[in-house]
Amino acid sequence: MNKVPSEARVFARELLKNLKLNGDTKVWVFPPFVSLSVVKEIFTGSEFVVGAQNVHSQRSGAFTGEVSVPMLKDMGIDHVIIGHSERRHVFGETDQFINEKVKVALSEGMTVILCIGETLDERKNGKTFDVLKDQLTKDLEDVKIEDPDKLVIAYEPVWAIGTGVVAQPYQAQEAMAYVRERLGEMYSKDRSEKISCLYGGSMNKENCQELFLLPDVDGGLIGGASLKLDEFIEIYKTASKFC
């Protein structure tokens, strides 16, 4: 919940002017709902992709204050983040609700960035893999992946989000390797290798290189560092070299 529409307009213009995309490294930007149309208009005709931070599970109805998949699609928005840790832990979204969102978004041809991850207590109690398995199993229940490009998994250890604490490379790799292994069991090894997996959790220009070098990290879900234009550009440059 950062940048009012006027600030988002300025930021998007600066990003477009100062960050030249090259190669296969993609940049997807997820502004708040009120800034979607502003940012989408600025990035029209460029390779920048604009997505939404959240969506409801129903296509329409008496759900005051919510935003539906058809509403996003009508704006030309085809990417959405689902299950972010703040949606789970601040707003109490359940795996069942997240599963409903994933299914309706995919059924409408959207690309879903599904966020999963454990809390500090769960990690201390040795439950990291159990939590990841449980979330993947429930969030993707009855979800068929026809096109692996339509699903992106973002591993975000809750204890590392907004805290300045980043998972050690071995911690990130073992968790993300497990995620890909689990996806292979749910679908197929070939399919799991084609699904992009991102690391999210206090990634910045200082630590991004060692994370991007990990074999099961295909990119980053950048939070606070994405609000700083110069830093985000540095992260992009590093990603374009190593991802």
- CA nearest to 176, candidates 186, 165, 167: 167
Segment (H or E) for 128: helix 128-139
Q: Which of 56, 79, 84, 122 is catalytic?
A: 84
Q: Is pTM, for the whole model, over 0.95?
A: yes
CA dihedral 54, 57, 61, 62 (to 10 degrees): -70
Residue 166 has what pLDDT? 78
Does residue 243 carry a pLDDT above 90? Answer: no
Give the pLDDT confidence of 9-61 residue by residue, as tens digits: 999 999 999 999 988 999 999 999 999 999 999 999 999 999 999 999 999 99
Q: Is 84 a catalytic residue?
A: yes
Q: Whose structure tokens read 């069991």?
A: 185
Task: State the average pLDDT for the chain.
Answer: 96
CA-CA distances (angstroms) from residue 94 to 70, 79, 127, 194, 221?
22, 21, 18, 27, 21
Give the pLDDT confidence of 149-194 residue by residue, as tens digits: 999 999 999 988 877 777 899 999 999 999 999 999 999 999 999 9
Over residues 185-206, mean pLDDT: 95
Q: Is 156 a catalytic residue?
A: yes
- Confidence grade of residue 201 (pLDDT, cut at 50, 70, 90): confident
Give the pLDDT confidence of 113-157 residue by residue, as tens digits: 999 999 989 999 999 999 999 999 999 999 999 999 999 999 999
Burial of residue 4 (CB within 10 Å: 0-12, 13-18, 19+) is exposed
Give one word for 134, left, alpha or beta, with left for phi > 0 and alpha for psi -120 to 50: alpha
